[in-house]
Amino acid sequence: MNNFEFCNPVKVVFGKGSISRLSTLVPVGSKVLMIYGGGSIKKNGIYNQVVEALKSFNVIEFSGIEANPHYETCMKAVELVRKEQITYLLAVGGGSVIDATKFIAAATCYEGEPWDILSKGGFIKQALPLGVVLTLSATGSEMNERAVISRVSTHEKLNFASPAVFPKFAILDPEVTYSLPERQVANGVVDSFIHVIEQYLTYPVNAKVQDYFAEGLMKTIVEEGRKVLQNPHDYDIRANLMWAATNALNCWIGQGVPQDWSSHRMGYALTAQFGLDHAQTLAVILPGVMAYMHKEKQAKIIRMGEVVFGITGETTDELVQKSIQATEDFFRYMGLKTRLSEYGIKEFDLDALVEPMKQRGWKLGEHGNIDYKVAREILMMRL
């Protein structure tokens, strides 16, 4: 096991009815900016629950956070925060709204040009406090210190991380996910599964707790993911998926082990240039990374296949191939496409897709050996 140093101070409030706990979680006297997305929370009743719980607070609203939240939109919110002297941010939404809220929290207090936080790793000294009411299980952002923001004008999608943007609390009520569209649910299942993979599927360092935990999360996500679309109102399925997605990226399973976030990083350009959902990019790319890096990742691929998908076989090659296929089959079972060509993307497009990697000189993967050329080969395999 590798050395590590980590703290995750997020208070989790889990279970049905827990939105009513808001009034005791937001500090008395706060001036709150409630941040949300396109307004679906007004249709499904979450908006009313939040407003009711916060009726004794001074609350201003900022809506219109997009999927893959835009830097430009966030900066409008920063203006409002400053103008209204907001003291507390409340994200009501999924990963995009939470990520946007984290960036708003940091950008408000940032002394230089806020884009530097994303493009240059600008150090975040402080941020406004923020809380979360989660409406969509997927990214784990509700219990971590990370965010991903897109800049429309330059087709860029970049991430940052800082302990200053850990949410103070995260309210996780599985019932609020009952009314989500199937596509979002399926995306969430695939996204959280791949978050586990990115912290698990490298080379073994004999970190038993982390490996068993990761396998437990993958088993939960596969078992419950296969059932959720047919049983949208099953509380236990929703609760297990929600808690698994949070644990998939609250960063504990990744402590002390090598990580490989190449599928995520390579996927950013697919979202920025072709508008694919985040999870859709992962479902296409991950099988390619597994296949291209099957020698480096062999031990873990075989173990994952056996434990999570029940794969058996005679030879190492057979076990590896079957495990990769089972992974792709699971994504397709959830309704996601797994080939670039299914999104109309052709070989002609690949150079542009790896151009951001070339410009930034990224070398991805647990061995740092996926540069833009290797990335192109991997994408080529996924046409």
- Which residues, including other chains, have CB under 8 Å from residue 24's CB and lie 6 or more apart? none
For residues 336 and 279, give the distance between their C-alpha atoms in angstroms, rounded to a whole number: 8
Contact of 218 with 193, CB cutoff 8 Å: yes
- Cβ closer to its own copies: 234 or 355? 234
- According to CB under 8 A, which residues from 90 to 119 bind its own copies? none
162 is an interface residue for its own copies by CB under 8 A: no
- Which residues, including other chains, have CB under 8 Å from residue 118's CB and lie 6 or more apart? 71, 103, 149, 151, 156, 158, 159, 160
| CB of residue 372 to its own copies, shortest distance in Å | 34
In this structure, how many other beta carbons lie within 10 angstroms of the beta carbon of residue 349? 18
| CB of residue 297 to its own copies, shortest distance in Å | 20
- Residue in 12, 26, 46, 78 binding its own copies, rule: CB under 8 A: 12
Total residues contacting its own copies by CB under 8 A comes to 43
14 is an interface residue for its own copies by CB under 8 A: yes
Q: Look up residue 66 and give its DSSP letter.
A: P
Contact of 174 with 234, CB cutoff 8 Å: no
- According to CB under 8 A, which residues from 194 to 253 bind its own copies? 206-213, 215-217, 219-220, 223-224, 236, 239-240, 243-244, 247
**Stretches 14-22, 189-197, 353-361, 363-371: which one binds its own copies (CB under 8 A)?**
14-22
| CB of residue 7 to its own copies, shortest distance in Å | 4
155 is an interface residue for its own copies by CB under 8 A: no
255 is an interface residue for its own copies by CB under 8 A: yes
- Cβ closer to its own copies: 9 or 45? 9
**Stretches 8-16, 40-48, 316-324, 346-354: which one binds its own copies (CB under 8 A)?**
8-16
| CB of residue 373 to its own copies, shortest distance in Å | 35
Q: Which amino acid, one-letter code, is at 236?
A: D
49 is an interface residue for its own copies by CB under 8 A: no
- Cβ closer to its own copies: 205 or 380? 205
Of residues 337, 245, 334, the one with CA closest to residue 287:
337
- Cβ closer to its own copies: 160 or 166? 166
> Where do we find the tokens 């080379």?
203
> Which string of DSSP letters, residue by residue, matches 186-253?
HHHHHHHHHHHHHHHSS-----HHHHHHHHHHHHHHHHHHHHHTT-TT-HHHHHHHHHHHHHHTSSST
For residues 170 and 93, give the distance between their C-alpha atoms in angstroms, rounded to a whole number: 11
- Cβ closer to its own copies: 50 or 245? 245
- Contacting positions for its own copies (CB under 8 A): 1-18, 21, 169, 206-213, 215-217, 219-220, 223-224, 236, 239-240, 243-244, 247, 255-256
